[in-house]
Amino acid sequence: MTDYTPEYEFKDRLLSLGLARVSEAAAIASAKLIGRGDEKAADQAAVDAMRTQLNMLDIAGVVVIGEGERDEAPMLYIGEEVGTGIEGSPKVDIALDPLEGTTLTAKAMPNALAVISMGARGSMLHAPDVYMDKLAIGPGFEPDTVTLEMTPTERVVALARAKGCKPSDINVCMLERPRHSAMLEELRETGAAIHLITDGDVAGIIHCAEPLVTGIDMYMGAGGAPEGVLAASALKCMGGQIQGRLLFRNEDERGRAKKAGITDLDRIYTRDDMVQGDVIFAATGVTDGSIVRGLRRVGGYTETETILMRSRTGSLRRLTYRNPI
């Protein structure tokens, strides 16, 4: 990574409320399409609103985790420059998913979010748009309590040992996908409870950071690599561990990784490999979920709930925003 911005120039405290406004705008725009069955329209509404708000911030921002390459515009593409870019603006990396859970929104299902994180320039892994094998647990455990090199059974047993409980007391979250059928069968043999989600693995991983609230102890399975970096940003603020290893189905996907500057295609990335410096993270609810409430209409207003976090201080704010309809 090059063109690194020193931490003291990041100005994360000053930028944090602006970042919350960005996720709020995306959530409000996409919420108009909840239950309408049109994933693309919901995603586009979130993208347009997020881009508009980002371009109001006094930053020299580059999207390093986005919705595709330049030729896929008008989505917020990887490499897109955002912000006012005025002289003296902090140079920052931005990871975003304007609508994490397009299907969830289209079908009015829980846990759709507008998600964005920001760090100093050069601090975030430029993850290609491929799959990533992910494993995450919450805070308070020794490093490598669980690893990707363990079998699913070994992970459950190791975490139960660290928690001082039985394997049957462990709750695992994973995406409900055919590719996970063997893992699911093995996990059920351990006695662990499996919480299957249809979409939205950023939210699934964040659940691990607050097990007393969500009931989720561990996340595992293959999902998008860009979402892995977003989830690592959240865990950087909340505490917790995540490991990720890129998965490739063909030479084209290997080429994407090499284009992103990745040379070791088998590397296992930790949280601090994916997000190397301080970061701020914001997520606003589109539909109701266990992390934040979805958008509500109260009288002549829309009301959103946002979590806003800073890794430098470990702070977590819950913000309620009312906006005239």
Residue 6, pLDDT score = 53
| Same-domain pairing of 75 and 205 | no
Bridging pattern class, strands 171-175 and 218-224: parallel
Print the domain residue range for 74.
7-123+279-324
Are the C-beta atoms of 174 and 184 separated by less than 8 Å? yes
Residue 33 CB contacts under 8 Å (≥ 6 apart), including other chains? 41, 42, 45, 105, 106
- What H or E segment, with its residue span, contains residue 20? helix 12-31
Mark which of 274, 293, 314 sits at the end of a domain. 274
Asked whether residue 73 carries a pLDDT value surpassing 80, the answer given is no
State whether 249 and 310 are in the same domain: no
Does residue 185 have a pLDDT over 60? Answer: yes
Same domain membership, residue 152 and residue 102:
no
Residue 2 pLDDT greater than 90, yes or no? no
> Please, where are the H alpha helices in 56-139?
102-106
Residues 262 and 297 both lie in one domain: no
For 119-128, the pLDDT digits (tens) are 999 999 999 9
Q: pTM to 2 decimals?
A: 0.92
11: confidence class by pLDDT, cuts 50, 70, 90: confident
Q: 203: domain CATH number?
A: 3.40.190.90
Residue 233 pLDDT class (50, 70, 90 cuts): very high
Residues 58, 83: contact at Cβ < 8 Å? yes
Mean pLDDT within 58-79: 80
Distances (CA, A) of 277 to 42, 82, 143: 32, 20, 18
Q: State yes or no: pLDDT of 41 exceeds 60.
A: yes
Runs of H (alpha helix) within 55-177: 102-106, 152-163
Same-domain check for residues 254 and 146:
yes
> pLDDT by residue (tens digit) across 239-268?
999 999 999 999 999 998 998 889 999 999
Establish if 2 belongs to a structural domain: no
Beta-carbon contacts of 147 under 8 Å, excluding residues fewer than 6 positions away, are 135, 155, 243, 268
Flag whether 1 is in a domain: no
- Cβ–Cβ contacts within 10 Å for residue 280, how many? 28
The answer to whether residues 224 and 307 belong to one domain is no
Q: pLDDT confidence of 325, banded at 50, 70, 90?
A: confident
Q: Round to whole Å and give the CA distance between 137 and 150.
A: 14
Q: What is the pLDDT of residue 313?
A: 92
> Across 145-295, where does the E strand assignment appear?
171-175, 193-197, 218-224, 241-247, 268-270, 279-285
End-to-end CA distance of the chain: 43
Radius of gyration of the chain (CA): 19
pLDDT > 50? residue 152? yes
- Looking at the chain, the whole-number percentage of residues with pLDDT higher than 90 is 85
135 and 188 co-located in one domain: yes
Note whether residue 210 is domain-resident.
yes
195 in a structural domain: yes
pLDDT at site 178: 96
Q: What is the CATH number of the domain that holds 51?
A: 3.30.540.10
Contact 237, 80 (CB under 8 A): no
Same domain flag for 285 and 264: no
In DSSP terms, 275 is beta-bridged to 124
Report the pLDDT averaged over residues 87-110. 94
End position of a domain, from candidates 274, 291, 316: 274
Number of domains composing the chain: 2
pLDDT at 1 over 50: no
With beta carbons less than 8 A apart as the criterion, state whether 36 and 106 touch.
Answer: yes
